[in-house]
């Protein structure tokens, strides 16, 4: 399963040797886990902020997350990948986790969900 570069709604691509129900459950649980990780300077979770660009679940249940930051010089740049890894690792069935920090395309406010925009009063 792969989720790719869409604001707030990583896409799912198949085929996979895993049953579709398991992929759906894992994807939902991974997204729920990512919603527990917050940028300490912004009171919105990283998923709703649109910082998650891609989530891949391999046939052996290893998960790779491509993510970005609101700014390359973010003070938690060194810590946030570990927070993301820990959150995803807590999901039942996940075997291993790799978090890649990417900056292409650069993050901008258009990637935020409506929920995030409301929370930050950015209408």
pLDDT tens readout for residues 54-108: 999 999 999 999 999 988 888 888 899 999 999 999 999 999 999 999 999 999 9
Residue 9 has pLDDT above 60, yes or no: no
Pairing of strands 97-101, 63-67: parallel
Give me the pLDDT at residue 72, please: 80
**DSSP 8-state secondary structure symbol assigned to residue 54:** E
Question: What does the block give as tokens for 100?
Answer: 């890649």
Band (pLDDT 50/70/90 cuts) for residue 2 is: very low
Q: What number of other Cβ atoms are within 10 A of residue 84's Cβ? A: 22
Give me the pLDDT at residue 122, please: 79
Work out the mean pLDDT of the chain and round it to a whole number.
87
Which residue in this structure is represented by tokens 């938690």? 76
pTM of the model: 0.85
Band (pLDDT 50/70/90 cuts) for residue 4 is: very low
Give me the pLDDT at residue 51, please: 96
Average pLDDT over residues 1-30: 70
Which residue in this structure is represented by tokens 């997350």? 65
Of 2-11, 67-76, 108-117, the least confident = 2-11
């Amino acid at each position: 399963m792969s989720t790719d570069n869409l604001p707030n709604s990583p896409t799912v691509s198949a085929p996979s040797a895993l049953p579709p129900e398991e992929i759906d459950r894992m994807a939902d649980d991974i997204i729920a886990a990512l919603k527990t990780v917050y940028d300490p300077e912004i009171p919105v979770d990283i998923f709703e902020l649109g910082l998650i660009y891609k989530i891949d679940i391999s046939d052996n249940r290893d998960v790779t997350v491509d993510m970005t930051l609101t700014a390359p010089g973010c003070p938690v740049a060194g810590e946030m990948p570990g927070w993301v890894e820990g959150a995803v690792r807590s999901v039942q069935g996940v075997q291993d986790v790799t978090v890649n920090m990417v900056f292409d395309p650069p993050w901008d406010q258009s990637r935020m969900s409506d929920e995030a925009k409301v929370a930050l009063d950015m209408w």
